[in-house]
Amino acid sequence: MPDLVLASSSQYRQQQLASLGYRFRIATPNIDEQPLPSETPSAIAQRVATMKARVVAQKFPTCVVIGSDQTGMCNGRLLVKPKVFERARDMLLSFRGQSVCFYTAVAVLDPGGKTLCDVVKTEVLFRDYTKSEVAAYLTLDQPLDCAGAIRSEAHGPLLFKSVRSEDPTAIVGLPLIRTSEFLRECGINPLDFVDAKILQNMEEPAPQ
């Protein structure tokens, strides 16, 4: 299996990728993630994901590199990381009964210079929760470094009414369906590297 590098310090993206059997190294990209003027959330996510992959690829020129980024929008406003409790609380209270769109981008670079990139949209409809529920959620998850103060891999779904997406894994931070598709194009597929003896034992009929 070709060497693989995940350009992310996110433990959740690392857990996602590892859950499918990928073996990879981790490198943290140091880039400016500030949006450009008039840039859409989807374009921001795609540009930043690609930048992350390219920066790390310079350090690992013989490896396949994955970059990812996520942005969000509600009622025409770009979601930001709240940083402080009060701002996170106000954000979440404004989401009640509203639809919020998250855009999760993945960029895969191979050593030959090919770049594969896509953005997966996830639409989340929030239910009409109470102020005390918001406070409890913030206390449990401490999502102050998450766009829109949403940590969907933890207690965030307790605030949801419904979720719509082509890839249900995208909202966590890495769209695994699209990522695995791109990695197969680069010659990386965990299903191709399962131990032959294990496969043989599974195919052989059980003794009577």
Query: How far apart are the C-alpha atoms of 178 and 170, rounded to whole Å?
Result: 9
One of 69, 110, 141, 167 is an active-site residue; which one? 69
69 given a catalytic annotation = yes
- Dihedral of the alpha carbons of 142, 146, 150, 154, in degrees to the nearest 10: -60
- Dihedral of the alpha carbons of 11, 187, 104, 176, in degrees to the nearest 10: -70
Answer positive or negative: Cα dihedral of 148, 145, 18, 35: positive
Catalytic residues: 69
